[in-house]
Structure 1
Amino acid sequence: MADFTSIINSVLGPSNNGGFTLVNTLILIVITFPVLIWVVGPLLRKHSVKLDYRIMLFMIPYLVFGTLIRTFQDSGLLPYTLNPLELGFYTHTPGLWYAIIILMIASVFAGRKLFPATEKDDRAFGIFGTILLVSALAFYFTLPIDLAILAGTILAIAIVSAIAIFLASKFLKGFADDGLNSLAVIGQAIDGVSSYIATTVFTCSEQHFVSNAIIGSFPLAFPIIKIALIVAIVHIVDAEIKDEFQRNYIKVIVVSLGFITGTRNVWTVAAGNCG
């Protein structure tokens, strides 16, 4: 099993400096995105799961729950392994997010089965996720957390998000009409601002090679570039993709990526788990 683990580690594991290389990043994309495009998307469309601002709000607790699990693993409270047959594989990327995707899909169908009256708006799905998130947060706040750092980071994110959404709405007519667009901006603001704080104010290192290159050269430009890029992507998606489900599915993925990477940074900085 050691040989198997070493092979997986060389392909999917972080590089020696704790970051992700071009090779393992591309491999993760090749493995993950076909599943999202040809399995998850068609499954949700077939069962009439409406992808909109409301369902995204229901998804966020699951995503943040996942980032808390990752933070617990960073703190040494959960095991780490690259063997998919062991629990530790599902406490970090990529196994954690495969598990979260499966959990969300299962929760949608379980909610519809157990509470048929909620099928139209999938409220039960949102309730399940909220219970998970509250439970994880309750445990997180038993750890030695710096509340001032946590509050300051959240405040900075809120200010940057508000400014970015205002500017996008001012220059792109109808941008804020779709709540998913605003959530996409917020997600990238969370990631950009928290990464900037983590790497410039504290001693954390950026794990992703492209982000690390930008932060290493122009730290303050990092959140600006991320937000500007996501605004452009969302604007193009709105203009070019006419199928509502496909358009919103892309936005849901974009929003999810921002929240997944960003909120982990927030928890990590407040918990003092830089790496």
Structure 2
Amino acid sequence: MVSLEEIVTYFTDPTAVGYTPEKTLIYALLLVVAASFIFEILKKLKIKVDYKLAISVIPYVILGSILRVLQDAKTFNSYWLITPGIYVFVFGIAFTVLLFSILVERKFGIRYFKTLFVLGLFAIAFMLPLLHFVNLKGFFLVSLFYLPWLIILYKIKWNAANKFVTAAQMFDATSTYVALQYFGYYEQHVVPSLFINIFSPASFIFLKIAGIVGILLILDKFSKEEEFNIYLKLLIGILGLGTGTRDFLRLLALV
């Protein structure tokens, strides 16, 4: 009989490589629970979910990606810098800074999102130099394949939230494609790896754009509460930006 300790170890062991369907399902369920909890916290703090909040948390998404790559590079070695621990760790940092930013706003009148954003930039400036970028070819290839998506999103008539989410997710798709196709990396996540193994790395791009556009259209049609709609899109954008930035930085550092 499998013990509770063995189950916990299976899902949290830092030495484990890759994802399994079981881990993917559990992580997805935990994400749903955490997302609901965080939304309620934001409401209690009277923080409106809008573009100001979205922009102010972007540095922490990038910070999380930097920390994850430093873990991959063996600069650090901690459970809290791999999935799922890194999500808890980075959220803890961002939430702590958010509370501090709210206090600053109440005492000095400086809007919370400004403090939150600037302190996030300082954290990036402190951690980014620990990475050593050597792959100029990877940078140009990602830029080359990603630029058309930015042009398309600029030209089409769509709301800003949908454009942000799509841009973030396609950055992930492009970085993954370049890493797999040109530099011998491999995909760890269950669903993308299934398509990539059957078809090719390019299939991930088509899978991603079809999936993300479909999800956004469904949200716009059935999600009637505007703030919750934006919140869900922010989460989807964060997931894409986080994994995309990690893949991009790994590629540049050849980690």
TM norm structure 1: 0.83
Counterpart residue number, 1:139 = 130
Q: Is the 8 A contact 1:160 1:189 kept in 2?
A: no
- In structure 2, what is the equivalent of residue 25 of structure 1? 24
* 8 Å CA contact 2:63, 2:124 repeated in 1: yes
Separation in 2, partners of 1:225, 1:130: 33
**Are 2:188 and 1:202 aligned?**
no
Instruction: Choose which of 176, 201, 215 in structure 2 pairs with 1:233.
Output: 215
Cα distance change of structure 1 residues 149 and 115 upon mapping to structure 2, 3 Å threshold: farther
Shift of 1:188: 1.0
Uncovered stretches (5+) of structure 2, i.e. residues with no partner: none
Q: Distance in 2 between matches of 1:227 and 1:202?
A: 23
User: What do residues 151-186 of structure 1 show as CA deviations (whole Å, max 9, x unaligned)?
Assistant: 31441354143144257x3xxxx52x3x22111111
Unpaired runs of 5+ residues, structure 1, are: 80-87
Question: What is the deviation of 1:105?
Answer: 1.8
Corresponding residue number in structure 2 for 1:267 = 249
User: In structure 1, what is the equivalent of residue 66 of structure 2?
Assistant: 68
1:118 aligns to what SS in structure 2? Answer: coil
CA contact (8 A) 2:104 2:110 kept: no
Distance verdict in 2 for CA 1:220–1:78, change over 3 Å: same
**1:256 counterpart SS class:** helix
Where does residue 8 of structure 1 map in the other structure?
8
Taking structure 1 as reference, are residues 201 and 5 closer, same or farther at Cα in structure 2, changes over 3 Å only? farther
**1: CA distance between counterparts of 2:150 and 2:91?**
29
Bigger RCO of structures 1 and 2 (CA < 8 A, at least 6 apart): 2
Deviation at 1:35, TM superposition (A): 2.1
Deviation at 1:272, TM superposition (A): 1.2
Q: State how far apart, in whole Å, the 2-side matches of 1:157 and 1:33 are.
A: 32
1:47 — aligned with what?
45
Partners of 1:250 and 1:54 in 2: CA distance: 15
Matches within 5 A, 1:96-135: 96-116=86-106, 117-119=109-111, 122-135=113-126
User: How many residues end up aligned between the 2 structures?
Assistant: 250
Scaled by the length of structure 2, the TM-score of the pair is 0.89
Amino acid at match of 2:221: A
Say whether the 8 Å CA contact 1:164–1:185 is kept in structure 2: no
Q: Distance in 1 between matches of 2:14 and 2:180?
A: 18
> 1:157·1:189 contact (CA, 8 Å) conserved in 2?
no
- Residues 154 and 220 of structure 1: CA distance in aligned 2, closer, same or farther (over 3 Å): closer
The structure-2 alpha-carbon separation of the partners of 1:5 and 1:211, relative to structure 1 and needing over 3 Å to count, comes to same
How many angstroms apart in 2 are the aligned matches of 1:226 and 1:14?
Answer: 28
Equivalent AA in structure 2 for residue 123 of structure 1: K
Question: Could you say if the C-alpha distance between residues 251 and 51 of structure 1 is closer, same or farther in structure 2, counting changes exceeding 3 Å?
Answer: same
**2:237 aligns with one of 255, 258, 263:** 255
Call closer, same or farther: CA 1:54–1:150 in 2, change over 3 Å. farther
Which residue of structure 2 aligns with residue 222 of structure 1? 204
Aligned sequence identity (%):
23
Counterparts of 2:201 and 2:135, CA distance in 1: 24
Task: Give the aligned partner of residue 83 of structure 1.
Answer: none
Distance 1:13 1:89 in 2: 8
1:41-75 deviation line (CA, Å, top 9, x unaligned): 10101222121223212111101110110101111
